[in-house]
């Protein structure tokens, strides 16, 4: 598992092009880190811009999860759960993440 840490660090840095928009959406309470390792809307009716951001970020994350899963003999779901744990650690105060039951928690 410790061998996955460098992959996850590069995974988060790979989203630097989206960091400002993603961080803005997180800071506004529009999206949060879902318990799957992906992001999800926190609000009931996300705008089209937020839905597009979620789709784009999640497509990239899913592709990364697949590559890590194949190279480490894990399932995509297992990689997602590891990513979720790392995402919680990196979540800024005031931003949201889901607990294991799916409840949104404000850090």
Measured distance CA(76)–CA(63) in Å, rounded: 9
Average pLDDT over residues 85-104: 96
Closest CA to 5 of 72, 70, 77: 72
Parse the chain into domains and list their residue ranges: 4-106
69: left (phi over 0), alpha (psi -120 to 50) or beta: alpha
In angstroms, the CA 94 to CA 97 distance is 10
Exposure string of 60-96, with b = 16+ CB inside 10 Å and e = fewer, is ebbebbeebbeeeebebebbbebbbebbeeebeeebb
pLDDT number for residue 72: 96
Q: How high is the pLDDT of residue 5?
A: 54
Q: Count how many residues are written for the chain.
A: 107
Calculate mean pLDDT across residues 38-55.
94
pLDDT score of 9 more than 50: no
Hey, what are 95's tokens? Answer: 């931003």
Give per-residue pLDDT as tens, 49-76.
999 999 999 999 999 999 999 999 999 9
Mean pLDDT, the chain, whole residue set: 87
What's the predicted TM-score (pTM) here? 0.79
């Amino acid at each position: 598992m410790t061998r996955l840490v460098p992959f996850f660090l590069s995974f988060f840095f790979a989203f630097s092009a989206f960091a400002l928009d993603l961080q803005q959406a997180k800071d506004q309470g529009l999206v949060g880190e879902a318990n799957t390792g992906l992001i999800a809307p926190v609000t009931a009716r996300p705008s089209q811009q937020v839905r597009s951001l979620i789709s784009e970020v999640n497509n990239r994350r899913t592709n990364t999860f697949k590559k890590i899963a194949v190279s480490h003999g894990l399932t995509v779901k297992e990689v997602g759960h590891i990513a979720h744990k790392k995402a919680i650690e990196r979540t800024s105060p005031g931003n949201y993440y889901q607990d294991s039951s799916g409840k949104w928690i404000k850090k």
